[in-house]
Amino acid sequence: ALATVTKGPIGIVFPGAIIFLHILCTGQWQRLFKMHCLRGLLLYFFIAAPWYYLMYQVHGMEFINTFLGFHNLTRFTTPEHPTRVLWWYYFPVIILGLFPWTGLLLQSIKASITDSRSDDLEKMLFVNIWWLFVLIFFTISQTKLVSYILPMFPALAIVIGWNIARMQKENYGIRWSWIFGSGIMFLLLTAGWVIGGQQLPEVAFGGIVLGSVTFILGVSIVWALWRYRDINFSAWLHVVTGVLTMVIAFSFLLPMVANRFSVKEIVRVYHTKCDQQKPVYVDKFLRPGFMYYTGVPGEEVKPKSGDLARVLNDPGQKYVLVRGLELRRLKDKDKLQNLNEIKEIGDIYLLEKY
């Protein structure tokens, strides 16, 4: 019910569909009579319905058309970002999102199907249906965002955790699949940190440092698995790797490039140097942050649509907040008249048309 309030109908579709598919696969239809479905639905509507009713009272059909229509149905059937309509779009997200456990993923999924016994088999079937349903659902969806598949990560974490516990109990042999999986993952991630850092000059050296740390810890994990066959030690090395990586990335690297992705600092300039009564036009990708920090919705400027050229060429006083990426796409920007650059922070520009 709370998920339905915050994210819409998907809040009931996911748990409902996953539980139904699990019952369908196991044939345990009698469970439906033990799940208190009627009382559950009454509780569900008691929590979720008031918010929808109040929003409809305030906004009328605009709420239905925008929240339920556009943000749920239209986004599912129509791509908001056409360049992202790729069947493999979420695979890199999973690889990076499960770090540092990605090297164990395939082996864990296989083991949860072939090596689980009795009660474990049914539990692993449930979590496998869980993550697979979420992945398939959003792969079919035409609009794709990195954050959409977040609900599948708890299920994958359970599968990996179960597999580590299983290996600890068995404690035999060299785990070649884990060795190769983690070895490849840490090599790719090392290269990713180094190459990715080169794309942003502020963090070039930091990318090399983080890549080096990742490589050293990756070699340590592979060595522990191959030489000592120590499951516990290798698992804890994964934990250390994850913690160190996040500390370095979030404490040192990301703050250096925060202004490339956040409008917080440039909004302070807007508050101090701009006339709040003039209209403001905002790059679509900057608009949510601008609205959050100012309370002003602004007029949306869509990328690659010609909106920016039209806004800058139209007469009339206004402000424009735009990414440098979009500004550089203008073919005749040198011919723009009566345009003043108020401030540029992190390749985000605050412009004034006077």
Per-residue pLDDT, 260: 87
Task: Report the candidate in 172, 175, 169, 129 with the shortest Cα–Cα distance to residue 152.
Answer: 129
Per-residue pLDDT, 172: 61
Per-residue pLDDT, 266: 95
Q: Which two tokens mark 271? A: 């508050």
Per-residue pLDDT, 98: 92
The secondary structure of 54-117 as a DSSP string is: HHHHHHTHHHIIIIIIIIIIIHHHS-SSGGG--TTTHHHHHHHHTTTSGGGHHHHHHHHHHT--
CA dist 3 and 9 (Å) reads: 8
Per-residue pLDDT, 335: 65
Q: Is 229 helix (H, G, I), strand (E, B) or coil?
A: coil
Per-residue pLDDT, 334: 63
Q: Which two tokens mark 29? A: 């239809």
Per-residue pLDDT, 109: 94
Per-residue pLDDT of the chain (354 residues; tens, 9 = 90+): 999 998 899 999 999 999 999 999 999 999 888 899 999 999 999 999 999 999 999 999 988 888 888 888 888 888 877 777 888 999 999 988 998 899 899 989 999 998 887 778 989 999 999 999 999 999 999 989 899 999 999 999 999 999 999 888 876 666 788 888 888 989 988 998 899 888 888 888 999 999 998 899 889 888 888 887 788 888 888 899 889 888 988 898 889 888 888 999 999 999 999 998 999 999 999 999 999 999 998 999 988 888 898 898 888 899 999 999 888 888 776 667 888 999 999 899 999 998
Per-residue pLDDT, 280: 95
Burial 303-315 (b: 16+ CB within 10 A, else e): eeeebbbebbeee
Per-residue pLDDT, 75: 82
